[in-house]
Chain A
Amino acid sequence: MPRKQIAQFEVPYLQILDAQGQIDPQLDPQLPTDELLRIYRWMVLARATDQRMLKLQRQGRIGTFGPSTGQEAISVAAACAMGDDDWFVGAFRELGGRLVRGEPLTSPYLFYNGYEEGNLQPESSRQRLLPINIIVASQCLHAVGIGYALKYRQERAAAVAFMGDGATSEGDFHEALNFAAVWQAPVVFISQNNQWAISMPREQQTRSQTLAQKGIAYEMPSIQIDGNDALACYVAVREALQRAYDGGGPTFIEAVTYRLMMHTTADDPGRYRTSAEEDEWWQQEPLGRLRTYLTAKKIWDDDQEEALQTEIKAEVDQAVVEFEAMGNFLPDIPFDHVYGTRHASIEQQRREFLTNLEQEAGDA
Chain B
Amino acid sequence: MPKLNMVQAINLGLAQEMARDDSVIVMGEDVGVDGGVFRVTDQLIEKFGAERVLDTPLAESAILGSAIGMALAGLRPVAEMQFSGFSYLMLAQWEGHASRYRARTLGQFTVPLVVRMPFGGGVRALEHHSESREAYYAHTPGSKVLIPSGPRNARALIVAAIRDPDPVVFMEPKHSYRAFREEVPEAEEVGKIGKAQLVQEGNDLTVISWGAMMRPTRKAVAAVTEQRGAGIEVIDLLTIAPMDAGAVVASVTKTGRCVVVQEAPRSFSVASEIIALLNDEALLYLEAPVKRLTGYDVVTPYFGREKSYIPTVGRIVRGIEETLDF
Contacts and interface: CB of A to CB of B under 8 A. Distances in A.
Interface of A: 63-65, 111-116, 132, 134-136, 166-167, 169-172, 197-200, 204-206, 266-267, 271-272, 329, 331, 333-335, 337-338, 345-346, 349, 352-353, 356-357, 359-360, 362-363
Given A337-B299, A363-B312, A166 B58 contact: yes
Contacts of A136: 58, 86
Contacts of A356: 308, 312, 315
Contacts of A205: 57-58
B106 interface: no
7 contacts: A114-B124, A132-B127, A135-B128, A166-B58, A199-B34, A205-B57, A329-B305
Nearest to B303: A114
B177 to A, nearest CB: 13
A346 B126 contact: no
Contacts of B306: 114
B284 interface: no
Nearest to A112: B126
Contact of A134 (B127, B267, B309, B312): B127
Interface in B116-145: 124-128
B283 interface: no
Contact of A338 (B62, B298, B308, B309): B298
A199 B86 contact: no
A349 B294 CA distance: 11
B154 to A, nearest CB: 21
A346 B58 contact: no
B136 to A, nearest CB: 16
Given A134-B127, A200-B29, A271-B35, A170 B302 contact: no
B299 A331 contact: no
Given A63-B124, A333-B305, 4 more contacts: A64-B124, A170-B89, A331-B308, A357-B308
B37 A114 contact: no
Contacts of A199: 30, 32-34, 55
B314 interface: yes
A198 B29 contact: yes
B125 A64 contact: yes
B268 to A, nearest CB: 12
Contacts of A112: 126
Interface residues of B, number: 41
Nearest to A198: B30
Nearest to A92: B126
B266 interface: yes
B62 A171 contact: yes
Contact of B59 (A116, A169, A266, A345): A169
B61 interface: yes
A115 B58 contact: no
A345 B297 contact: yes
A170 B59 contact: yes
A158 B34 CA distance: 39
B215 to A, nearest CB: 16
A95 to B, nearest CB: 15
Contacts of A267: 37
Contacts of B62: 169, 171
B30 A334 contact: no
Interface string B297-326: 111011111101100111100100000000
Contacts of A171: 59, 61-62, 89
Contact of A334 (B59, B89, B301): B301
A107 B126 CA distance: 14
Contacts of B180: none
A337 B297 CA distance: 11
B303 A360 contact: no
A266 B86 contact: no
Contacts of B33: 199, 271-272
Given A356-B315, A359-B315, A200 B30 contact: yes
B58 A170 contact: yes
B305 to A, nearest CB: 6
B297 A360 contact: no
B305 A200 contact: no
B296 interface: yes
B298 A359 contact: no
Contact of A116 (B58, B60, B302): B302
Contact of B313 (A135, A271, A329, A363): A363
A197 B60 CA distance: 14
B80 to A, nearest CB: 13
A61 to B, nearest CB: 12
Contact of A63 (B267, B298, B303): B303
A96 B32 CA distance: 32
B315 to A, nearest CB: 5
B308 A360 contact: yes
A166 B82 CA distance: 14
Contacts of A198: 29-30, 34, 37
Given A114-B302, A116-B301, A136-B58, A266 B37 contact: yes
B299 A338 contact: yes
Contacts of B125: 63-64
A334 to B, nearest CB: 4
Nearest to A197: B58
B46 to A, nearest CB: 12
A166 B30 CA distance: 12
A200 B124 contact: no
**4 tightest Cβ-Cβ pairs between the two chains A and B:** A114-B304, A363-B314, A199-B34, A114-B303
